[in-house]
Amino acid sequence: MNYVLGIDLGTSAVKILLLNQNGEICDEISKPYPLIQEKSGYSEQDPLQWVDRTTEALSEIVAQFDGEVQDIEGISFSGQMHGLVLLDQNHQLVRNAILWNDTRTTDQCRQIYQAIGKERLLDITKNPALEGFTLPKLLWVKENEPDLYEKAAVFMLPKDYLRYRMTGKIHSEYSDAAGTLLLDINQKEWSKEICHHFELKEDFCPELVESHAFVGTLNEEFAKKTGLSSSTKVFAGGADNACGAIGAGILTEGKTLCSIGTSGVILSYEQGGDRNFQGKVHYFNHGKENAYYSMGVTLAAGYSLSWFKDVFAENESFEELLEEVKDVPIGANGLLFTPYIVGERTPHADSAVRGSFIGIDAAHTKKDFSRAVIEGITFSLNESIEIFRENGMEVDTIISIGGGAKNKEWLQIQADVFNAEIVKLTNEQGPGMGAAMLAAYGCEWFPTLQECADQFIRKGKTFFPNKDDAEKYQKIYRLYKSVYQQTKELNEGLKEFRQ
């Protein structure tokens, strides 16, 4: 029996899966690492932590593995998107990585529009200039840390840096490159026009490959440290949302995904790069060759819940925190939460807005707040579904993955708020499964990714919308939608008091 490893370099942790040829999970290990948040709006990580935690996790997997280590045939990756990693000429790190949920770059987004023009940027990249994307981060470093910028010889995305440290080879791949604002997503090449505008040398952007491309084998040093064989094949991998989609079988038109991790996304498969959402949702290359996906993003989905838990229920598990949610009626006894705790992306690209609890009553207890938090996150994701529906897409069945799919009350809330059937997968492992599938496909275990999905992905319980409950949620959703406009100005006024 042969095996593959899927490495999901998430925001909260690296999660590694060992899968056999039947798609059965033989081992899984997760190692957390911290966020570095020096100021409000800043979010960084030390890339060396990614490498060290991955090395530890792989060593543990190998130590627990009772087969022949040479039978672990391939490795691939899924990575948190958009993060900027800068290397100098000797391929040493220049600074910490600036992550996708860092929103310090509002001025740089403005500069991008001034230099390229909004319409032209949309033509080339299919996406607007958002604080979370990579190019604005690069311009921020240029403006604020010119000495460090001078030293930078190449930029990388998080999982591409990890792969470089495992193989010694530098590459980028289309699904993650699509989130940089430097890729011409239809031509599948770094945009000369954008690079030229910002004086980026040609070799500043790594060579582009497909997600399933074989990029080399493990280097001797990494193999020795982990106990893996140096003949293990390494495949490029994909952006975490592309991999989440692969791992959930979102490989044909009409399929929709809801993923609640640190961020939350509603993602829809696109066969071509030609649908026009005018930048209202993101549009990226898929991890499947020559395919795309569109997606709306809630910046702090799972993060809102983990923030709430850390601040108000530090010693409780997520299960304990959500235990009593079922005893609270729809609408959390009149309490409404907006999850804008680090700003928002879809539908409000706004880095200054912040979250709110509206309607706090002396009778409310913690369980009302817990329910309000998960309802609010779900309302925010519903705003992305609304955009898809307004653009003529039918969204009647949604595969739900990520930490948020672990709780059955929340899955039912998704069904009722989205007014769609919600399918849970039995072997749901989020993006790590997609990464492992890219390795399995790369190893030629299957002629297509679809055949790999047919073998590996198993559907579990379906949650059906309840008509009465869906109607109640519609009413509250209308109120939810008005909170953004009504609190926008207040939040701008409060901005100067944030640290």
Ligand X SMILES: O=C(CO)[C@@H](O)[C@H](O)COP(=O)(O)O
Q: Which residues are catalytic?
A: 240
297 binds, among ligand ADP, ligand X, none (CB under 5 to 8 A by kind): ligand X
Q: Contacts with ligand X in 215-244 (CB under 6 A)?
A: 240-241
233: phi > 0 → left, psi -120 to 50 → alpha, else beta; which?
A: beta
Q: Residue 368, interface with ligand X (CB under 6 A)? A: no
Q: Of the ranges 265-273, 303-311, 361-369, 454-462, which one interacts with ligand ADP (CB under 6 A)?
A: 303-311
- Nearer to ligand X among residue 159 and residue 367 (C-beta): 159
- Which one of 404, 434, 442, 465 is in contact with ligand ADP (CB under 6 A)? 404
- Which one of 83, 261, 273, 465 is in contact with ligand ADP (CB under 6 A)? 261
472 DSSP 8-state letter: H
306 binds, among ligand ADP, ligand X, none (CB under 5 to 8 A by kind): ligand ADP
Task: State which amino acid sits at residue 55.
Answer: T
The answer to whether 97 and 47 are in contact (CB under 8 A) is yes
The answer to whether 71 and 54 are in contact (CB under 8 A) is no
Q: Contacts with ligand ADP in 12-41 (CB under 6 A)?
A: 12-13
- Which one of 206, 261, 355, 434 is in contact with ligand X (CB under 6 A)? 261
- Nearer to ligand ADP among residue 71 and residue 409 (C-beta): 409
Q: Residue 442, interface with ligand ADP (CB under 6 A)? A: no
The closest of 154, 166, 11, 163 to 82, measured between CA atoms, is 11
Per-residue contact track with ligand ADP, 319 to 338, x per CB under 6 A? x--x----------------
Q: Residue 78, interface with ligand ADP (CB under 6 A)? A: no
Q: Which two tokens stand for residue 152?
A: 């930078």
Whole-angstrom distance, CA of residue 322 vs CA of residue 411: 12
Q: Contacts with ligand X in 170-199 (CB under 6 A)?
A: 179
Q: Residue 81, interface with ligand X (CB under 6 A)? A: yes
Burial 333-352 (b: 16+ CB within 10 A, else e): bbbbbbbbbbbbbbbbbbbb
The closest of 204, 206, 208, 207 to 195, measured between CA atoms, is 204
- CA 242 vs CA 128, 270, 285: distances in Å: 19, 12, 8
82 binds, among ligand ADP, ligand X, none (CB under 5 to 8 A by kind): ligand X
Q: Which two tokens stand for residue 224?
A: 């020795």
125 binds, among ligand ADP, ligand X, none (CB under 5 to 8 A by kind): none
Min dist. Cβ of residue 108 to ligand X (A): 16
Q: Residue 279, interface with ligand ADP (CB under 6 A)? A: no
Q: Residue 10, interface with ligand X (CB under 6 A)? A: yes
Min dist. Cβ of residue 126 to ligand X (A): 13
209 binds, among ligand ADP, ligand X, none (CB under 5 to 8 A by kind): none
Query: Residue ranges for the binding site for substrate?
Result: 81-82
Q: What string of DSSP letters covers 413-469?
A: HHHHHHTSEEEEETT--THHHHHHHHHHHHTTSSSSHHHHHHHH--EEEEEPPPHHH
Whole-angstrom distance, CA of residue 376 vs CA of residue 480: 8
The closest of 436, 458, 434, 439 to 251, measured between CA atoms, is 434
- Which one of 263, 414, 419, 487 is in contact with ligand X (CB under 6 A)? 263
Q: Of the ranges 301-309, 440-448, 457-465, 482-490, which one interacts with ligand ADP (CB under 6 A)?
A: 301-309
- Which one of 74, 247, 302, 434 is in contact with ligand ADP (CB under 6 A)? 302
What would the 3-class secondary structure string for 187-253 be?
Answer: CCEECHHHHHHCCCCHHHCCCEECCCCEEEECCHHHHHHHCCCCCCEEECCEEHHHHHHHHCCCCCC
Q: Residue 262, interface with ligand ADP (CB under 6 A)? A: yes
Q: Residue 314, interface with ligand ADP (CB under 6 A)? A: no
Q: Of the ranges 46-54, 59-67, 77-85, 472-480, which one interacts with ligand X (CB under 6 A)?
A: 77-85
The answer to whether 111 and 139 are in contact (CB under 8 A) is yes
Q: Residue 380, interface with ligand X (CB under 6 A)? A: no
Residue that is written with structure tokens 């399929």 in the block: 255
The continuous run of DSSP H or E covering 400 comes out as strand 397-401
Q: Contacts with ligand X in 285-324 (CB under 6 A)?
A: 297
- Nearer to ligand X among residue 267 and residue 443 (C-beta): 267
CB neighbours (10 Å) of residue 76?
Answer: 34
Strand pairing category for 356-358 and 336-338: antiparallel
Chain residues that interact with ligand X, rule: CB under 6 A: 10-11, 80-82, 100, 132, 179, 240-241, 261-263, 265, 282, 297
Sites of contact with ligand ADP (CB under 6 A): 10-13, 260-262, 302-303, 305-306, 318-319, 322, 402-404, 406-407, 410, 430
